[in-house]
Amino acid sequence: MPMDAFDARLKFTELLRRLTASVQSATKCAQFAIKNSDMSEDLYSCIVEELDKATLNSRINLLFLLEVLCDNCSRTGLEDYLEMVKRDLWPIFDKVVPITQGALANVAHARKALDNLRQKGVITAEIFDDVSVLMAEREAEVSKDEYQIHKKASLFSTEDILKRMEEDRERHKRMRENVWEIPPGNAIEIEFSEAWETTSDLGDDDYELMREESALLSQALGRR
């Protein structure tokens, strides 16, 4: 018997509230969303609602879920979730790094997720640049009162801190694994794009080196 929208929301919300930093946990949620993509708007709204209510640590897990969901949708050609994430990209990051004490801890993970979405072709370079500017502004805002976090030990419980440390270890492990992951597309084009982005502009030293190498080549050819 097909699941109706009400039951789907209940089941998905339950999965979201048990979400951890592990790949397996995020994949399980993403698979449920894709399997029930005929209710994509309802299920997507569940994620947004949880982002409003979740702890700062859990918001990073929800952001990673969206990354996994978009990655799977890109591979399968399912556009609904992709379009909604692109439409709400800054509001999503606004929730992940809100203007509140402790939010600075989420900045690095949020930036990494944003870069992953760009590398995997989910968002354009223009969208990436626009949100990066807003992220820089938000980082500056939440950094202003960072010193107060250390004064208020009651901000996070010991349990919260230990959970954050454990899940950060899981995230760092995942980041190391992602270094070897090749995004979908033409491998040669991807390699060229990466080289293009990371290669510096030609300068006087480069031209001088080319002249020297050209002179050496001419000498070598002249000896033949």
* Extents of the domains making up the chain: 5-177, 185-224
Q: Is the confidence at residue 122, as pLDDT, over 80?
A: yes
Tell me if 93 sits within 8 A of 114, measured CB to CB: yes
* C-alpha closest to that of 110 among 174, 60, 71, 67: 60
Q: Is the pLDDT of residue 149 over 80?
A: no
3-class state of residue 123 by DSSP: coil
User: Among 18-32, 56-70, 151-165, 184-198, where is mean pLDDT lowest?
Assistant: 184-198
pLDDT at 175: 58
Is residue 99's pLDDT more than 50? Answer: yes
Residue 197 token pair: 């982005």
CB atoms within 10 A of CB 27: 15
**pLDDT at position 153, please?**
47
Q: Where are the alpha helices (DSSP H) in 145-203?
A: 146-151, 158-178, 187-198
* Cβ 86 vs Cβ 123: under 8 Å: yes
CATH class of the 5-177 domain in this structure: mainly alpha
pLDDT confidence of residue 174 = 60
Taking residue 90's Cβ as centre, other Cβ atoms within 10 Å add up to 14
pLDDT at 72 over 90: yes
pLDDT confidence of residue 18:
94
Residues in contact with 19: Cβ distance below 8 Å, sequence separation at least 6, in sequence order = 25, 26, 29, 58, 61, 62, 65
Identify the helix (H) or strand (E) that includes residue 125.
helix 125-144
Residues in CB range of 18: below 8 A, 6 or more apart: 25
Decide: 139 and 104 in contact? Cβ < 8 Å: yes
What is the model's pLDDT at position 95? 97
**Structure tokens of 174?**
């995942």
Is 103 within 8 Å of 142 (Cβ atoms)?
A: yes
Long-range contact set of residues 124-133: C-beta below 8 Å, sequence gap at least 24: 127/86, 127/89, 130/90, 131/89, 131/90, 131/93
pLDDT band at 167 (very low <50, low <70, confident <90, very high): confident
pTM: 0.71
What is the pLDDT of the chain when averaged over all its residues?
82
Backbone torsions φ then ψ of 160, nearest 5 degrees: -60, -45
CA count, 13 A, side-chain hemisphere, 201: 2
Average pLDDT over residues 158-171: 70
